[in-house]
Amino acid sequence: MSEAIFLEQSEAIFTAVEEWLEESGIDLDMETGQGMLTITCENNGSQIILSRQRAVSEIWVAAISGGFHFSQKSGDWICKTGETLQQLLVRVMDEQAGESPNVELELDD
């Protein structure tokens, strides 16, 4: 994947995640910058950080439960755990915020 395509796709993913979380009504604070999306759970101050790794065309997620690396496979962003990016974000939101959005996160490739 070219760097330009990766940057375009990752920017679209970050935007979709932000919109998904804003619509959720969950008490969160979000900040973007320098290739990262930082989500702070207001109930406990814990953070979930999405970052783009340009050199390897991956999206990384850091959460209390660990660090996760996602690469694009067959149109989905998949981690070595077998989870899609959407599945992982729902799981870590449940773990850290105590709830997750009740609307599915749709990511266009």
**pTM exceeds 0.85, yes or no:** yes
CATH, domain range 3-97: 3.30.920.10
Residues 86 and 93: their CA atoms lie apart, in Å, by 11
Domain positions in the chain are 3-97
Q: Give per-residue pLDDT as tens, 16-50.
A: 999 999 988 888 999 999 999 999 998 899 999 99
pLDDT band at 6 (very low <50, low <70, confident <90, very high): very high
How many beta carbons lie within 10 A of that of residue 81, not counting itself?
13
- The per-residue pLDDT of the chain, averaged, comes to 92
CB 59 within 8 A of CB 85: yes
